[in-house]
Amino acid sequence: MSQSFASSAPAVVQVGDRPLRIDEVAAVARPSGPEGEPAQVVITDDAWGRVREARAVVEDLAHDRVAHYGISTGFGALANTHIPPEKRAQLQRSLVRSHAAGMGPEVEEEVVRALMLLRIQTLATGHTGIRPETLQLYVDLLNARITPVVHEYGSLGCSGDLAPLSHCALALMGEGEVRERGGAVEPAADVLARHGLTPVQLEEKEGLALINGTDGMLGMLALAITDLRRLLTTADIACAMSVEGLLGTDDVFADDLQQLRPQPGQALAAQNIRRVLAGSPIRESHRTEACTRVQDAYSLRCAPAVHGGARDTLAHTERVAGYELAAAVDNPVITDDGRVESNGNFHGAPVAYALDFLAIVVADVASMSERRTDRFLDVARNHGLPPFLADDPGVDSGMMIAQYTAAGIVSELKRLANPASVDSIPSSAMQEDHVSMGWAAARKLRRAVDGLAQVLTIELVTAARGIQLRAPLAPSPATAAVIAALDEHSSTAPGPDRFLAPDLAACALTTRDGGPVAAAEAVTGPLH
């Protein structure tokens, strides 16, 4: 998904003295604020001191007769090959050039920017041995919105996101291709020269330090968390509108009933639904003995369990992301006492699992949303509304095919929920014999999150039309505000069939930007 970060995003993000926050990753990755500019990055003075100290360790070890991985040896399965001093600069260049082997479609700018920020964060910890001038150039590229071209395929999620990070490192060398501010693809050398930036000649350990991290998958996790915080609240709003439009009951969302099952996310989802439904004349119209329905269908009654479980899973992934944002992921690392030690911290399993967990809950939240949409269209289940919410059923088809679209997306989301992290294909002559496939998990999650936004949009538009067909009964004040917000971008009003795709596309944009949430909160106050 691609949308603006909140306008309250900081203008500057300081890196080096503490772990980054998820919202800071989004603020740097995405345009924000009135000028549509992402936040700038500044390395703290203390971090620069640690970078210089770690570099001094590497330079001392470069002259040691004992082989040190990444400094005086080859890489991967070639780790036992000693490299003489006169070939080490070429070793670093060759490493980056050979590993920049990505293929397929170009990755989105916001993903590459998140990746770059997170690599800068690790380099600034003083555990990688990078030279200060190399780190400064990385920061300069990011702040100038010079984005290396990175491709869809090339990372197995172990030994880091090697190919994606290598394409970024290649740009530091003045090689490969970049885009400036989302413009045309150009040679990196030309763009750097235009900005007065001098490419670096990599020295011992630097090539490895630039490419050995979980930054791509972690960046995509942080962006997905940012999006899902908004979309899960949107799901609660859409559900409340469906309950209202389908003449369902809000009694099942009572707080004392939720407390009987103390799942924290469930209680929050139920509270959101209650607040959106508050003061609904439509709801009050059937709070009588004449209403003989005993209980609503699961897609209405059980929504807090599904939306709440999704929230709790999201909270777990936020913790995982927080741990990883506090990490220095490289191999080998420079320890605080000056040792150079190999490790396995680059293995993406923790992040990959979190990404796959989210793909599962995204599919299920969307699946329940589609079922609510479908109920509006069936005269056997929509309690007095016209078939397919059509103006002249038979002549008009109403929302019939919008539900097809939602069903098609949900079917794909179920396929995307198949975990990538259970797969592994050995690489590097069996030296890297188990990999995480975390990058693949992140790529499919991005597509899944976008699909969820579209499915929720279809439910919002369908519910808005169904609610308006209940006139002269009025909806709740929060629902009315959401319908008005949607109508600023399209029309949800009932009537003869019209070209529906532009209406759905316009509403999807405001869904992604948080328009329905902002509209509801203008009435209810902050929602969870």
The catalytic site residues sit at 69
The candidate with the shortest Cα–Cα distance to 119, out of 141, 90, 94, is 141
Q: Residue 274 has what DSSP assignment?
A: H
Residues 6+ apart with CB under 8 A from 282: 244, 245, 247, 467, 470, 473, 474, 475, 476
Q: Residue 421 has what DSSP assignment?
A: T
Phi, psi of 393 (to 5 degrees): -50, 135
3-state secondary structure of 331: coil
Q: Are 497 and 295 in contact (CB under 8 A)?
A: no
Element (H, E) at 104: strand 103-106
Radius of gyration of the chain (CA): 26
Alpha helices, H only, 395-437:
400-416
Q: Are strands 333-334 and 185-187 parallel, antiparallel or unpaired?
A: unpaired
Helices (H) and strands (E) in the chain, counts: 20, 9
The candidate with the shortest Cα–Cα distance to 206, out of 116, 317, 95, 43, is 95
Q: Are 72 and 181 in contact (CB under 8 A)?
A: no
3-state secondary structure of 457: helix
Q: Are strands 12-15 and 177-180 parallel, antiparallel or unpaired?
A: unpaired
Residues 6+ apart with CB under 8 A from 425: 156, 435
Query: Rounded to an integer, what distance in angstroms lies between the CA atom of residue 134 and that of residue 353?
Result: 32
Taking the alpha carbons of 79, 81, 85, 87 in that order, is the dihedral positive or negative?
negative
Q: Residue 509 has what DSSP assignment?
A: H
Alpha helices, H only, 156-199:
162-172, 188-194
3-state secondary structure of 432: strand
Alpha helices, H only, 199-251:
206-211, 215-245
Length reported for the chain = 528
Element (H, E) at 152: strand 151-153
The pair of structure tokens assigned to 361 is 């809950």
* CA count, 13 A, side-chain hemisphere, 97: 11
State the CB neighbour count (10 A cutoff) for residue 278: 16
Q: Are 448 and 409 in contact (CB under 8 A)?
A: no
Residue with tokens 């500057």: 12
Query: Rounded to an integer, what distance in angstroms lies between the CA atom of residue 142 and that of residue 114?
Result: 10
